Structure 1
Amino acid sequence: MSRPVYFVGTIGLDTAEEVFEGVGACLGDHVRQIPDGEVAGRRQWVTYQLPVLRSYGFLRPVPPNRFVPLELNPGVRQSEIRFAELGYAREARTSYSDFIAARKRGLVGPRVRMQVGMPTPFAVLKAFLTPDAFAAVEEAYTMAMLDELAEIARRIPHEDLAFQWDVAPEMIEWDAHGNAGGLLGKDGREGVLTRMKRLSETVPADVPHGYHFCYGDFNASQVEKPSTPTAMIDLYNSLSERIDRPINWVHMPIPAHADQAFFECFRALRLRPETQLYLGLVYGVGNRHAAEERIALATQVLPSFGLATRCGIARGRTSQEVRELLDLHAALAAAN
C-alpha cells in the first residue's frame, strides 16, 4: 500500500518552477498538493514580514535597538494603525503561473493542487513586537492577513488551491497550558482556539484546508522535542470540536526519540473522516532505516497516515540534499 506524501512549505530549491517540476516529477500521484517552496524571502518564514512591519511609522525599534523588538511610537492613536498589502497574495499569484506551466508540461498531475501556506498573525507579531504593541496592532494585522487570504481565493481557482495555516507559537503556547511566560497568559488555550477558529472559518469551504503543527526548526533540527504527542493530539481534537468547516489535513512532527509508547498516545486522536493525518517522521537522506522503523511503530496504532518531514526542507539543506530527500519520500511512500 502506497502512502500520500506532504511537504510543509519551504523546499530548498531556487525557484517555484523548480519546486513544482521537481516534486511533481519525483512524487507523482503520491502528492495531493504542492507548495511553491516558499523561495527567496519567505524561506525564513515570519522574517519575511519584518520589513513590512518596519515600514509603518506607527512602529519603531525599542531604543536603543536598531531592529527588534518593535514598539508603538509614542502618541500613536488606534485609528492610525492599519496595514496594507503583506505580500503573500502577490507571491501566490506569481507561483500559480509556474504551477500551471508545470501542469501543462505533464509534471504536475491534473488533480494536484497548489498549496499556499501562511503563518498566523500571532506567529508574526509574537516574533517581533513587544506585548503592548502586539495588543495594539493584532486586530489590524489580522484583518490584513485575512485580506491576503481573500485575494488568494479570488485569484486562484478553488479547484486548484489548498490552504494551510502554520501553527508554531500557538503549538508551544498550547503545550505550556498557558503557564506564566506565555504571551496569552492563563487563558492561553482559549486564546489559541478563538484565533484559530476565526482564521480557519475564513478559508472558503470548497478550498481544502489544513494545519502544520510545529515545535520550531533551526538548521534542519527540531527546536522543541515533545516527550509525547499529547499536546498535538489535544489541540487537533479541540480544533475539530470548535471549527465549523472541513479540516482536510493535519501535520504533526515526530521527534527522534519516539518509541512505541509515544505512538500509543495516538489512540486518543479523534480524526474527522475528511482529515488526512501526516506524520513528520522522515528526517534526512542518511536515515532511511530509522524512518522505516518509525513507520512500522506508527502502523501498529494508526491504520492510515501520510509521510512528511518534521518541518520545511530549506534551511540548513543544500539543493542536492533536497532532491535526495524527494527521492527518499518517493521510495518510502512506494514501499508502504
Structure 2
Amino acid sequence: MAPNEVLMVGSVPETGPQEVFCRLLAALPGRLQAVPDGETGERSNYIGWQLQRFPRVARRNELGGTPLPELGSPTFSLEDIEPTGYDEAALSSYAEFTRLRQQKIVPPDVLFQIGLPSPYSVITGHIKPELAIAIEPLYEQRVAESIDHIVANIHHNDLVIQWDLCFEITALEFNQGRLTDKRHQPYFSTSVLQGLVDRVVRLCKRIPGDVKIAFHLCYGDLRHKHFVEPEDTSLLVEFANALLSHERIGSRTLWIHLPVPKDRSDAEYFAPLAGLKLNGLDSGSKSPLLYLGLVHANDEAGTRKRIETAQSSIPFTFGIATECGLGRTPLEEIGSVLQICKDVTTERSSEHL
C-alpha cells in the first residue's frame, strides 16, 4: 500500500509564505498534515541569519569574529544577545496562513508548522567553543522568549513546532569517532547523549503541553552533502528513543523525521527502525509518527524502491519526505520533488481528517 502522507521539512525556495502555502497545498492535495511557511528570505540559509544576534567577539573567527582579549574571556549578559526574530517571522506567516484558511485554500485539518533550530545547533555553528557555555543560557533565554510570543499569539490547536536537530547528530557521530573535525565536538563535558536530550527537554518544557511538537533529525545539507554518511538508522533510533522516552516529549510528539540517503535502498539501513519505540506516543493521532526522508529529485524509481524496502523492513506505517528542507535545492528540481511526492503516495482517507 502506498504511503498517504508527505512532510515538507521546512524551507522552500519561493518568494514568501503565501507562495509556499499555495504551491505545496496545490501540489500535494490531501497529503499534508502540516505546512511550513518555507523559511524564505533571510531565513533560507538555516541558522546563518542568527549570526548577527551575537557579539563579534563571541563569533567563530572564520565567521568574522574578533580575537579574544589577552587578559581573559569577556563576560556577557542577556543584553549582548539580540532577540532571535523567529517569533516575528512566525506570526507574520500565521496571519497569511489564517487568511488562506478563510479562503479555503488551507484545509481546516492542516496545521501551521514552525521549524526552529535548537540553540545547541546555533551555538555550535556560530560561537567560539571556549565561550559556548557562557553564551548558551543567554541564547536559550532569547529562544524561550520567542516561544512564549509564538504560543501566546497562535491558536494551540493550529500549531506544531518542529525542532531541527542537526549538530546534535554530528555530536553523536563525533562521539563515535566517525567525525574528526573538532567543530563537531560537544562543548559540554557530560554524557553526550544525555546532555543533548537534556537541552531538548528544557526547550520542550517551555512549550505548553497542548502544543504538538516534532523532530527533524538531520545529517546536514551543506551543498547537498551530509557531514558524514549514516552507517544505518541505529544512531538515529537511539537518539529518537532517548527523546521520546521523556514524559515531556513523547506524549505529544506528532512526528519524527530522519534521512534516507539516495544510495540506501538496502534492508540493512532500515532494519534498526524496528527498535523505534513509537508505542504510546500521541495516541490520539491517526497520522504517521515517522517520516522517512527518502524522496530524491529526478529519481522516482529509486524512491519507490526505498519505500518498498522500508515497508518490508519495519513494522509500522510511515509518511515520506525529502532528506532535508528544499531551501538550497535548485529551482529546476523542485517540480520533480513535488511530483514524485504526489505520484508515490495516495490521499489520506477520511479517517485521518
The TM-score, its normalising length taken from structure 2, stands at 0.86
The answer on whether the counterparts of 1:3 and 1:30 sit within 8 Å (CA) in structure 2 is: yes
Farther-moved stretch of structure 1 (1-10 vs 12-21): 1-10
For 1:308, the aligned partner's letter is: A
Q: 1:249-307 CA distances to partner (integer Å, 9 max, x unpaired)? A: 100101123211111221111114327100000010x1000000000000012330000
Is 1:204 equivalent to 2:208 in the alignment?
Answer: yes
Structure 1 residue 69: Cα displacement: 7.4
Query: How is 1:1-336 mapped onto 2 (pairs within 5 angstroms)?
Result: 1=1, 2-53=3-54, 56=55, 59=57, 67-68=64-65, 76-79=74-77, 82-177=80-175, 181=182, 182-183=185-186, 184-185=188-189, 187-245=191-249, 246-258=252-264, 259-272=266-279, 273-274=281-282, 276-284=289-297, 286-302=298-314, 303-318=316-331, 320-334=332-346
Partner Cα distance (1:254, 1:70) in 2 = 40
Partner Cα distance (1:17, 1:79) in 2 = 38
Q: 1:208-254 CA distances to partner (integer Å, 9 max, x unpaired)? A: 10100000002334342101110000001111223424222100101
Partner Cα distance (2:67, 2:45) in 1 = 19
Farther-moved stretch of structure 1 (215-224 vs 259-268): 215-224
Partner Cα distance (2:67, 2:212) in 1 = 35
Task: Check 1:81–1:23 CA distance in 2 against 1; reply closer, same or farther (3 A cut).
Answer: same
Partner Cα distance (1:247, 1:290) in 2 = 29
Partner Cα distance (2:67, 2:124) in 1 = 10
Structure 1 residue 331: Cα displacement: 1.4
Structure 1 residue 127: Cα displacement: 0.9
The answer on whether the counterparts of 1:120 and 1:166 sit within 8 Å (CA) in structure 2 is: yes
Partner Cα distance (1:152, 1:130) in 2 = 29
The size of the alignment, in residue pairs, is: 330
**3-state DSSP class of the match of 2:91?**
helix
The answer on whether the counterparts of 1:222 and 1:310 sit within 8 Å (CA) in structure 2 is: no
The answer on whether the counterparts of 1:85 and 1:144 sit within 8 Å (CA) in structure 2 is: yes
Where structure 1 has 5 or more consecutive residues not aligned to the other structure, the ranges are: none
Structure 1 residue 199: Cα displacement: 1.2
For 2:87, the aligned partner's letter is: A
Q: 1:150-179 CA distances to partner (integer Å, 9 max, x unpaired)? A: 111111111211101100000121233366
Partner Cα distance (1:69, 1:271) in 2 = 46
The answer on whether the counterparts of 1:33 and 1:115 sit within 8 Å (CA) in structure 2 is: yes
Structure 1 residue 335: Cα displacement: 8.7
For 1:262, the aligned partner's letter is: Y
Aligned-residue CA RMSD in angstroms? 2.4
Task: Check 1:163–1:288 CA distance in 2 against 1; reply closer, same or farther (3 A cut).
Answer: same
Partner Cα distance (2:116, 2:304) in 1 = 31
**3-state DSSP class of the match of 2:313?**
coil
Structure 1 residue 24: Cα displacement: 1.3
Partner Cα distance (1:99, 1:220) in 2 = 29
**3-state DSSP class of the match of 1:333?**
coil
For 1:236, the aligned partner's letter is: A
The TM-score, its normalising length taken from structure 1, stands at 0.90
For 1:194, the aligned partner's letter is: D
Farther-moved stretch of structure 1 (146-155 vs 200-209): 200-209
The answer on whether the counterparts of 1:96 and 1:156 sit within 8 Å (CA) in structure 2 is: yes
The answer on whether the counterparts of 1:69 and 1:128 sit within 8 Å (CA) in structure 2 is: no
Structure 1 residue 142: Cα displacement: 0.4
